[in-house]
């Protein structure tokens, strides 16, 4: 059964376009390649930040509903445990407890560690549990001893009880879990003081009210609500994404200028060719459609190739090319594999931005020549 | 010289040789597009498969009462972004990483790797 | 079949380099005849042909095809008419570079969306009659002068138009190839086609195949 004339016509137009593009095969392939590369970088950034944002939102959805910090002269200070009683009385709060955690700078590897007292199942005295990245960087295995310099300048030796699973590296890369006594002795924090307090508020609608009540009851505190944490991460990755985007927009702009220069102002040969097509019976719409196909073929292929490469790069190769940007100066960078999460809307926006302007730049300049009478073709 | 008979047989549409250049390009484009759609399907499937690990990590984060990812361990104020100290330099946004505007231009102070590394045996004891 | 009534054509009208190529030509061209428009360069014969073939619209005057006034038609209808009625063979042949002979000949039929198999059949039949069957897959830029012209003729014939217009067909050919061209003209006449040729080559306008010669000078009939 023969195809519908409209469909067959499109196939013919594509035939012509591919033939015409094939005249400068190398140049046009290079064009697609460069364009695809730009899409690759943009799409990689997009996919990576989408997935990371989603990951953060998922993993931290179990974070404490309200974290209460104490501020002294605007600075984060230790918070007394006596505040717990007052907080426990606030309506909506089902549990309140203190958290002990802090930072330790290790000059040996120029890295920051986070020491944390885990509330359930703490390690026994003198023992620590270490994050996998830390363990690898310091060459620590179970049974090895890590000596850290305490607040009093004395070395404190801790024996590694266990290393945390590498699957949790994104959360635990730099963690050292200790028990409460060791923590207090090491940092010189007396009993009754905590780093901050965490509140359990089971009803999400009461959280803001609880935060307000905390502020009123304890004016020298700063309650941090879980939603703020999640929003921080959403904004963060936007910002980082933005920085790369800014760098890229320069490249994109240069490319647009190049494409526009190429597309605007037809060469004499191109004008003549359009004249010939009109003379042999192509209508203006045929010429425009053919040019549109040219723009679409290049930009759609560039998008698909760039996007597919980006998908493989981000979810198959763990965004290897972004390593340096993300790691910054950190020594302990977690080795993690992002779980794929794609926001269709943003992807289709990228598709639209890749295809539409380029197709337009290809088609619009042809308009004048396409509607003219073809008799100019005869005069040469 | 192409025989008319061959042409008719080939023209039955079987085999790629019978397709014109343009049709082959369109076919390649459609194939790529299907792969593109496939990535969405893959994302859905992979996410489901990773569900177990994700749930385990979420539970761990909850158990340890963690509030931040261990992604930016460069400095104290980048490590726990959501808990960040208001006195950290130039911090108008918890996520602001431009603590030092020149941070993008100037690296961290150069430390003598040997001096620090020499401390390693003193602070680590392997069984 | 084709009537021109006091047709005039100007270029760059209103500007300092305004040129009147055709200054009032009235002529009636009959079907199934071979007519040559003869005259020196600058006589307006090529411009006149573009008006006859609906490639351009006259600045003033009327052009009628089968009694129908086409001088005021919109671009779209004119193109359709052109596609159905006229086939052009340009002096420079104007084959599309980068495409094969086969693809070039298929071009005028693309907008019609005819099934590919049928089109290919027609194209190959045409190429065979013009002795180009062996070169069907050759790229247009590789052809010799004579071959390129025959390809251009094949392209002009693919939609089976009534009228073939050829602009200075022998200008780039030697005597032997020119004669060959005239043989093709004879063949087309036998098929019942109307031919309109512009030429200042005596070999053409003195040929027995030619039924009528219209002489032009300075945009007027001489």
Shortest distance, CA A378 to any CA of chain C (angstroms): 7
Smallest CA-to-CA distance from B69 within A143, A137, A174 is with A174
Strands C2-11 vs C19-29: parallel, antiparallel or unpaired: antiparallel
Comparing alpha-carbon positions, the chain C residue that sits nearest to A6 is C113
Q: Which position has the higher pLDDT, A149 or B113?
A: A149
> Once rounded to an integer, what is the mean pLDDT over residues C138-148?
91
Give tens-digit pLDDT for A218-228. Answer: 889 888 888 87
pLDDT of A313 reads 93
Best of A79, A140, A153, A171 to substitute, by most chain B Cβ atoms within 10 angstroms, is: A171
| pLDDT category of residue A349 using cuts at 50, 70 and 90 | confident
Residues A351, A352, A354, A356, Cα dihedral to 10°:
150
Best of C44, C51, C98 to substitute, by most chain A Cβ atoms within 10 angstroms, is: C98
8 Å CB contact of A16 and C99 = yes
Q: Which two tokens stand for residue B115?
A: 């001096």
Distance CA A102, CA B67 (A): 13
Neighboring chain B residues of C134 at a CB cutoff of 8 Å: 1
pLDDT of A318 reads 82
8 Å CB contact of C98 and A279 = no
8 Å CB contact of B1 and C120 = no
Neighboring chain A residues of B117 at a CB cutoff of 8 Å: 108
Distance CA C208, CA A226 (A): 98
Give tens-digit pLDDT for C35-44. Answer: 999 988 888 8
| pLDDT category of residue C159 using cuts at 50, 70 and 90 | very high
pLDDT of A250 reads 67
| pLDDT category of residue A185 using cuts at 50, 70 and 90 | very high
| pLDDT category of residue B85 using cuts at 50, 70 and 90 | low
Mean pLDDT, chain A, whole residue set: 85
Neighboring chain C residues of B1 at a CB cutoff of 8 Å: 133-134
Return the bridge partners of C86, or none: C163
Counting residues of chain A whose pLDDT is more than 90, the rounded percentage is 33
Residue A233 has pLDDT above 90, yes or no: no
C139 interfacial to chain A (CB closer than 8 Å): no
What are the structural domain ranges in chain B? 4-62, 67-107+119-127
Q: Which position has the higher pLDDT, B102 or A70?
A: A70
> Once rounded to an integer, what is the mean pLDDT over residues A176-181?
93
> Exposed, middle or buried: residue A269 (CB in 10 Å: 0-12, 13-18, 19+)?
exposed
Angle value at C-alpha B55, between B54 and B57, nearest 5 degrees: 65
Neighboring chain C residues of A283 at a CB cutoff of 8 Å: 75-76, 79-80, 111
Encode burial over A293-311: b for 16+ CB neighbours within 10 A, e otherwise.
bbbbbbbbbbbbbbbbbbb
pLDDT of B98 reads 43
> Once rounded to an integer, what is the mean pLDDT over residues A210-235?
83
Give tens-digit pLDDT for A278-322. Answer: 888 898 899 999 999 999 999 999 999 999 999 999 998 888 887
What are the structural domain ranges in chain A? 5-60+232-379, 64-225
Mean pLDDT, chain C, whole residue set: 90
Instruction: Give, as one character, the DSSP assignment of residue C107.
Output: G
| pLDDT category of residue A138 using cuts at 50, 70 and 90 | confident
Best of B18, B38, B43 to substitute, by most chain A Cβ atoms within 10 angstroms, is: B43
| pLDDT category of residue C151 using cuts at 50, 70 and 90 | very high
- CATH fold, domain A64-225, is Barwin-like endoglucanases (2.40.40)
Distance CA B113, CA C4 (A): 95
pLDDT of C81 reads 86
For residue C113, give the nearest of A6, A22, A371 by CB distance.
A6
> Once rounded to an integer, what is the mean pLDDT over residues A136-162?
91
A346 interfacial to chain B (CB closer than 8 Å): no
Tokens 């904004």 found at: A235
pLDDT of B102 reads 38
pLDDT of B86 reads 52
Which chains, if any, share at least 3 CB pairs under 8 A with chain A?
B, C
Length of chain C: 222
> Once rounded to an integer, what is the mean pLDDT over residues B38-46?
92
Residue B91 has pLDDT above 90, yes or no: no
Give tens-digit pLDDT for A242-288. Answer: 665 666 676 667 667 766 666 666 777 888 889 899 888 898 899 99
Tokens 């005239």 found at: C182
Neighboring chain A residues of B127 at a CB cutoff of 8 Å: 141, 143-145
Helices (H), A60-188: 83-88, 132-138, 169-172, 180-187
> Once rounded to an integer, what is the mean pLDDT over residues B93-112?
45
8 Å CB contact of C115 and A6 = no
Task: Compute the count of residue pairs across chains A and C with CB atoms less than 8 Å apart.
Answer: 106
For residue A23, give the nearest of C46, C88, C98 by CB distance.
C98
Smallest CA-to-CA distance from C51 within C95, C30, C21, C19 is with C21
Give tens-digit pLDDT for A99-112. Answer: 999 988 888 887 88
Residue B100 has pLDDT above 50, yes or no: no
Give tens-digit pLDDT for C78-119. Answer: 888 888 899 999 988 889 988 999 999 999 999 999 999 999
pLDDT of A377 reads 63
8 Å CB contact of B20 and C117 = no
8 Å CB contact of A342 and B127 = no
Give tens-digit pLDDT for B55-83. Answer: 989 998 888 888 888 877 666 666 766 66
Q: Which of residues 169-188 of A touch B (CB under 8 A)?
A: 169-175, 177
B27 interfacial to chain A (CB closer than 8 Å): no
pLDDT of A326 reads 67
C115 interfacial to chain A (CB closer than 8 Å): yes
| pLDDT category of residue B96 using cuts at 50, 70 and 90 | very low
pLDDT of A177 reads 94
C17 interfacial to chain B (CB closer than 8 Å): no
Neighboring chain B residues of A25 at a CB cutoff of 8 Å: none
Give tens-digit pLDDT for A321-345. Answer: 877 766 666 677 787 888 888 888 8
Neighboring chain A residues of B124 at a CB cutoff of 8 Å: 138-140, 144-147
Between the alpha carbon of residue A94 and those of residues A65, A84, A200, A210, A229, the distances in Å are 11, 12, 6, 11, 21
Q: Which of residues 23-52 of A touch B (CB under 8 A)?
A: none
Give tens-digit pLDDT for A46-82. Answer: 888 888 888 888 888 888 899 998 988 878 889 999 9
Cβ atoms of A289 and A13 within 8 Å: the answer is: yes
8 Å CB contact of A103 and B29 = no
Residue B89 has pLDDT above 50, yes or no: no
Shortest distance, CA B3 to any CA of chain A (angstroms): 23
8 Å CB contact of B4 and C124 = yes
> Once rounded to an integer, what is the mean pLDDT over residues C55-60?
88
Between the alpha carbon of residue C59 and those of residues C45, C48, C155, the distances in Å are 16, 12, 29
8 Å CB contact of B73 and A174 = yes
ipTM score over 0.85, yes or no: yes
Query: What 3-state DSSP class applies to B13?
Result: coil
């Amino acid at each position: 059964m023969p195809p519908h004339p409209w469909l067959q016509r499109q196939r013919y137009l594509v035939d012509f376009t591919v033939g015409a593009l094939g005249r400068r095969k190398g140049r046009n392939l290079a064009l697609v390649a460069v364009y695809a590369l730009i899409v690759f970088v943009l799409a990689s950034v997009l996919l990576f930040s989408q997935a990371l944002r989603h990951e953060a939102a998922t993993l931290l959805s179990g974070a404490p509903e309200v974290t209460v910090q104490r501020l002294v002269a605007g600075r984060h200070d230790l918070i007394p445990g006596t505040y717990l009683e007052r907080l426990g009385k606030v309506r909506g709060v089902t549990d309140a407890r203190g958290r002990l955690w802090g930072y330790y700078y290790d000059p040996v590897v120029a890295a920051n560690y986070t020491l944390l007292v885990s509330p359930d199942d703490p390690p026994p005295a003198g023992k620590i549990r270490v994050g996998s990245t830390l363990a690898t960087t310091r060459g620590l295995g179970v049974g090895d001893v890590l000596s850290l310099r305490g607040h009093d300048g004395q070395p404190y030796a801790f024996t590694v009880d266990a290393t945390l699973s590498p699957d949790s590296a994104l959360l635990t890369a730099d963690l050292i879990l200790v028990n409460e006594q060791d923590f207090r002795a090491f940092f010189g924090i007396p009993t009754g003081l905590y780093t901050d307090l965490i509140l359990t508020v089971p009803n999400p609608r009461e959280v803001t009210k609880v935060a307000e009540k905390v502020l009123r009851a304890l004016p020298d505190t700063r309650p941090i609500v879980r939603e703020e944490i999640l929003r921080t991460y959403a904004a963060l990755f936007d910002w980082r994404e933005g920085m790369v985007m800014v760098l890229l927009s320069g490249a994109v702009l240069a490319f647009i200028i190049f494409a526009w220069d190429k597309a605007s102002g037809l060469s004499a040969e191109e004008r003549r060719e359009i004249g010939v097509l009109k003379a042999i019976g192509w209508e203006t719409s045929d010429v425009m459609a053919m040019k549109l196909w040219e723009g679409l073929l290049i930009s759609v292929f560039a998008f698909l190739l760039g996007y597919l490469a980006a998908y493989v790069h981000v979810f198959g190769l763990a965004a290897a090319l972004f390593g340096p940007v993300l790691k910054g100066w950190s020594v302990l960078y977690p080795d993690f594999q992002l779980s794929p999460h794609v926001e269709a809307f943003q992807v289709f926006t990228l598709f639209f931005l890749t295809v539409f302007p380029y197709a337009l730049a290809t088609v619009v300049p042809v308009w004048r020549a396409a509607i003219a009478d073809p008799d100019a073709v005869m005069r040469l | 010289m192409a025989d008319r008979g061959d042409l008719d047989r080939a023209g039955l549409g079987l085999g790629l040789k019978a397709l014109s250049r343009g049709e082959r390009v369109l076919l390649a484009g459609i194939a790529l597009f299907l792969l593109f759609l496939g990535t969405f399907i893959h994302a859905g499937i992979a996410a489901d498969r990773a569900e177990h690990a994700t749930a385990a990590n979420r539970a761990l984060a909850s158990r340890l009462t963690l509030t931040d990812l261990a992604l930016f361990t460069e400095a104290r104020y980048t490590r726990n972004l959501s808990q960040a100290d208001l006195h950290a330099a130039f911090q108008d946004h918890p996520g602001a990483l431009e603590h030092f505007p020149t941070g993008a231009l100037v690296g961290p102070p150069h430390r003598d790797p040997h001096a620090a590394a020499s401390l390693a045996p003193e602070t680590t004891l392997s069984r | 079949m084709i009537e021109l009534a006091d047709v005039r054509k100007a270029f760059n009208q209103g500007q300092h380099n305004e040129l009147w190529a055709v200054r009032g030509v009235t002529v009636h061209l009959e079907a199934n005849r071979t007519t040559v428009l003869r005259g020196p360069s600058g006589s307006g014969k090529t411009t006149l042909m573009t008006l006859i073939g609906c490639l351009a619209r006259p600045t003033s005057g009327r052009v009628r095809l089968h009694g129908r006034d086409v001088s005021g038609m919109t671009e779209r209808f004119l193109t359709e008419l052109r596609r159905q009625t006229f086939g052009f063979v340009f002096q420079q042949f104007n084959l599309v570079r980068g495409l094969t002979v086969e693809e070039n000949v298929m071009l005028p039929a693309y907008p019609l969306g005819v099934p590919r198999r049928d089109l290919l059949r027609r194209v190959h039949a045409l190429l065979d009659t013009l002795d180009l069957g062996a070169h069907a897959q050759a790229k247009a830029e590789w052809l010799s002068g004579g071959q390129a012209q025959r390809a251009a003729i094949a392209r002009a014939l693919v939609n089976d138009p009534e009228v073939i217009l050829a602009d200075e067909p022998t200008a780039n050919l030697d005597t032997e190839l020119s004669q060959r061209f005239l043989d093709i003209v004879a063949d087309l006449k036998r098929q019942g086609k109307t031919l309109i040729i512009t030429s200042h080559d005596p070999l053409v306008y003195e040929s027995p195949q030619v039924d009528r010669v219209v002489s032009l000078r300075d945009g007027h009939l001489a």
